[in-house]
Structure 1
Amino acid sequence: MAALLAAPVRAEIPGKVIEQAKSCVVSVERTTAIGINGERSGRANATGFIVDLGRGLIATNRHVSGTSPAKYRIIFRDGSTAQARLLYYDPFNDFAFLKVSTDAFRGGVTQAGFAKGGALAEGSEVFLVGNNESYEYSVKTGKVVNLAVHKPPRQTLSIQTSFDRTGGASGSPVFDAKGRVAAIHSLGSDTSSFEVPAAYLEDALYMLKAGTLPRRGEPWVKLSPVLLSDAARNLRLPKEAADRIRRARPGAKRALMVQKAVPPARLEPGDVVISAGGAVIGDDSYLFDKMADLAAGGEAELEVSRNGGLVTVKTPVGDAQALKVTRFLAFSGGLFTPYTPEMRLATGYAGEGALMVGAEKGSPFYRAGTKSEEDHRLLLTEFNGRKLAGLADLEAAAAEIEDKAPVNFVAVNLASINRSPRADWVNADLKFWPLKTYSWNQDELDWEVKP
């Protein structure tokens, strides 16, 4: 009976290791002025960690830094503070880097060291240091549950751990038992959490340290893992292809299937990816990402299973860095951005235009939305008789509008099941909501506003 009631044996991580790990951890406060890309204005508190003392770089989550105009304050363990700027956020994975003056680093702070590839296995002890439920430098311990799970919005490779969910822990470093960063905490539930592998951060840091922005490829698809047995039965995956995956990746149970695709992708929903550039992919979305990164701005050659046969597809790969929202407009109360690949894949609508992502209450364009901040997603396709191929067309057309003049437009409501274009109109109010353009200046790491 005593043996049955005995507590399970759990390895203890030395206190010295945990204490040393805390020295690279910081608190992050973000105040967002204007929300774009589905983000809201307001304040948020989270965690970050120092990854480069010499360059003043701090890692946190993309959903912490945001992609909108914002101000950042870093709070160090000794209580000192520093202002930060957003240096880089990843287009797909949940991490970003903030930059502070190196003068902000005082005695006692250290730079995080990264774990080597293969340092973790299922069952490995890990711990997290963060601002869990606003308690600074609180520690959670847990285990690796699964080394390879896929989380939305894309084919993001994540590590599943046994940490329970807590507010304020976003952006926390996840350490192995030796105090090396193996991942960054991203999201969780009441029973488990999901972490972005450190390899993604290290790849980006390598480029940043070389003085260039990380190169990321946009394949214009959303992938989803599928069991090889299901792919064979339901998608007619050839046995020879499944065998190749198992030989190249011993123990593999899944492959990556194209769930969604939008132009200009030449991949099709239901395609099962076998290899890229001759390398068998299996369900290794990190390897797929690296293939896309190398092909950014050109084409990638992939072997896929399609309708029971094996075909080679050369598909365009966009430059994800260039496709980020680096310019947006405010006009007559509406907020307009480019129609991004992320939104195309999320909505499944492949048309062209300028996307209205929000509108101020009481403004002319607020009436044109759905009266809900979350659902202000109108894709304007025509504006005063002018076809809109993108944001630049809207900007040129809006510049010709005078105060109180009628504005006719055609739009598709992406928040509605009915995607039929509809005509509407508003009367411009430029006294209270004049035309403004917001442009990202990478050299200054700040948004410029005109006029």
Structure 2
Amino acid sequence: RASSVAVVVVVASSASRRRRSPRGVGGALRLRSLPPRATMTDDEEREELEEEVSPNPATTMDDPSSEPLLPETDATWQGVVRRVSDGVVVIKTTGVRAFDTESAGSAYATGFVVDKARGVVLTNRHVCRPGPVTAEAVFQNREEVPLRALYSDPVHDFAFMRFDPSLVKFQKVTDVPLAPDGAAVGLEVRIVGNDSGEKLSILSATLARLDRDAPKYGSKGYNDFNTFYIQAASGTKGGSSGSPVVDVNGRAVALNAGSKTKGSAAYYLPLHRVKRALDLLRDACPANPGDAEWRAPIIPRGTTQTTFQYRGFDECRRLGVSIETEAVLRAAQGVDGTGALVVNDTVPGGPGEGVLVVGDVLVKMDGVVVVDFVTLESILDDNVGRTLACVVERGGVAKTVEILVGDLHAITPSRMLEIAGGVVNALSYQQARNFQLPCGGVYVAEPGYVLGVANVPKHAILTSLGNTPTPDLDAFAAAYAKLKEGDRVPVSYFVHAERHR
């Protein structure tokens, strides 16, 4: 199962350490704590979507000599766009270390102000990044203010950053209100943001679907799941991630997240869970705060480490759903209901393993008929640490099972260990789900010098160091701390593609 290789652990003098590693981490054990936030994506090409993972000519700010013009639309839309643009910012981010699914690098994207008194900006999770990040917000009058990461959701593609409102001297800042229930098929919308690095672009679209599956980004990085996405043909491109999707009343009905690289289809995140998180964040963070007054927001997130997918009733019947159960599920959804939530997979070692099986059709949880992701996540988030009764239909037979609701933040890494330019962290829920492995193993986000000389690749899972098992990050740190300069020790690892070898 594991591959063993010899590794020279270099714990060099300060002079040689400066030659080999400009950061001076050649063997120095540094266990760093990160803000209590979530995780993010890989630097390889996406299978479906284009996202801001590195700067490129299309997303480089050229400081144009003239302000971009608003499109020639009717007076109502013109007024809406002018008002919303006062709350839209260009976000310049730099990930200073590789961490989890993301490499170090810089990018341009978009965000918009959702609470001007507190200086809260909403953007995408993949913009905020999961690890250490520095960021700036650029308003439409070119005023620049520092941004700090505030909260990233562990699963869904949204994050909050904040700025000090007192630093904005001349720009008139406006809030963009969130209206998650405002999205509807046929609704005409505008996407206002830094599309293609143009600082301010206004794209028009008509919402076509509210129940699209979450897009698949790739097999080794961040993917959203357990949510619907909204689809429209707006043709958004790089730089527009984090843009508000606004209606004619100037309300954000969705958050732009990505698009197909070939074609005009774009995908927006619904705002139901975003609005809940913002309300809880406001309770934790006072208006007009100084740094000392802010505290980490407590936003409960529950999980069974199970991925559900919405499947049509015809497929549910093939899985054995009875006519009576289908009638119950249809009645709970109304005339728009077309299917049910079906178990797609469970993470090894998670609460769902052995309790739920692939193909189970979810009927009830905690006594509530569950027919959509918002209802499911509301129940999970309100019951972290509790055991709930769950009714599923399995092969035509109704079964009631007991399932523990785990803490999603507890399996989201918030620490990293730097080793001679390399970075290791605990295996996140995101990567555990991709690799079908238990959460918490020692994951190589960047090999650096020492692990690189030993040919340990990125995305590897380290299982022992110096013949000492390393089931978690603390065990690996303790084993590494015992090594001396010049020690030559074996390190055992495997990559997900050969875990059954």
- TM-score range relative to shorter protein: 0.7 to 0.9
Q: Tell me, in whole angstroms, the C-alpha distance in 1 between the residues paired with 2:266 and 2:389.
A: 35
Structure 2 matches for 1:83-232, cutoff 5 A?
A: 83-106=146-169, 107-115=171-179, 117=181, 119-151=182-214, 152=216, 153=223, 154-189=225-260, 190-211=263-284, 212-232=297-317
SS of the residue corresponding to residue 479 of structure 2 reads helix
Q: Tell me, in whole angstroms, the C-alpha distance in 2 between the residues paired with 1:352 and 1:166.
A: 35
Structure 2 matches for 1:271-350, cutoff 5 A?
A: 271-282=360-371, 284-350=372-438
Q: Tell me, in whole angstroms, the C-alpha distance in 1 between the residues paired with 2:124 and 2:232.
A: 17
The question of whether the paired residues in 2 share the 8 Å contact of 1:292 and 1:300 is answered with: no
The question of whether the paired residues in 2 share the 8 Å contact of 1:56 and 1:100 is answered with: yes
Deviation at 1:239, TM superposition (A): 2.2
Q: Tell me, in whole angstroms, the C-alpha distance in 2 between the residues paired with 1:404 and 1:299.
A: 51
Deviation at 1:246, TM superposition (A): 0.6
User: Structure 1 length normalisation: TM-score?
Assistant: 0.85
Structure 2 matches for 1:357-368, cutoff 5 A?
A: 357-360=445-448, 363-368=449-454
Q: Tell me, in whole angstroms, the C-alpha distance in 1 between the residues paired with 2:282 and 2:346.
A: 34
**Larger % of strand: which?**
1
Aligned to 1:241: 325
The question of whether the paired residues in 2 share the 8 Å contact of 1:369 and 1:377 is answered with: no
The question of whether the paired residues in 2 share the 8 Å contact of 1:352 and 1:381 is answered with: no
Aligned to 2:485: 403
The question of whether the paired residues in 1 share the 8 Å contact of 2:149 and 2:162 is answered with: yes
SS of the residue corresponding to residue 111 of structure 1 reads coil
The question of whether the paired residues in 2 share the 8 Å contact of 1:382 and 1:411 is answered with: yes
Structural RMSD (CA): 1.9
Deviation at 1:369, TM superposition (A): 4.4
Deviations 1:359-411 (A, max 9, x none): 12xx231144465xxxx111112222222231111111111111221222322
Q: How many residues align?
A: 401
Aligned to 1:425: none
Q: Tell me, in whole angstroms, the C-alpha distance in 1 between the residues paired with 2:109 and 2:96.
A: 17
Aligned to 2:13: none
Q: Tell me, in whole angstroms, the C-alpha distance in 2 between the residues paired with 1:232 and 1:11.
A: 49
Q: Tell me, in whole angstroms, the C-alpha distance in 1 between the residues paired with 2:139 and 2:82.
A: 15
SS of the residue corresponding to residue 322 of structure 1 reads helix
Q: Tell me, in whole angstroms, the C-alpha distance in 2 between the residues paired with 1:101 and 1:129.
A: 23
The question of whether the paired residues in 2 share the 8 Å contact of 1:333 and 1:366 is answered with: no
Q: Which segment drifts farther, 379-388 or 67-76?
A: 379-388
Q: Tell me, in whole angstroms, the C-alpha distance in 2 between the residues paired with 1:351 and 1:181.
A: 35
Deviations 1:319-378 (A, max 9, x none): 112322111112244321112222221111238631112212xx231144465xxxx111
**Paired AA for residue 83 in structure 1:** P
Deviations 1:230-257 (A, max 9, x none): 1211x21222211110111123111111
Aligned to 2:494: 412
Q: Which segment drifts farther, 245-254 or 342-351?
A: 342-351
**Paired AA for residue 113 in structure 1:** P
Aligned to 2:54: none
Residues 116 and 93 (structure 1), Cα distance of their counterparts in 2 relative to 1, 3 Å cut: closer
The question of whether the paired residues in 1 share the 8 Å contact of 2:429 and 2:439 is answered with: no
**Gaps spanning 5+ residues in structure 2: where?**
1-72, 217-222, 285-296
Deviation at 1:217, TM superposition (A): 1.1
Higher relative contact order (CA 8 A, sep 6+): 2
Residues 148 and 420 (structure 1), Cα distance of their counterparts in 2 relative to 1, 3 Å cut: closer
The question of whether the paired residues in 2 share the 8 Å contact of 1:333 and 1:365 is answered with: no
Deviation at 1:164, TM superposition (A): 0.9
User: Structure 2 length normalisation: TM-score?
Assistant: 0.76
Instruction: State the percentage of identical aligned residues.
Output: 26
Q: Tell me, in whole angstroms, the C-alpha distance in 2 between the residues paired with 1:221 and 1:135.
A: 40
**Gaps spanning 5+ residues in structure 1: where?**
1-9, 422-451
Residues 20 and 316 (structure 1), Cα distance of their counterparts in 2 relative to 1, 3 Å cut: same
Q: Tell me, in whole angstroms, the C-alpha distance in 1 between the residues paired with 2:441 and 2:195.
A: 42
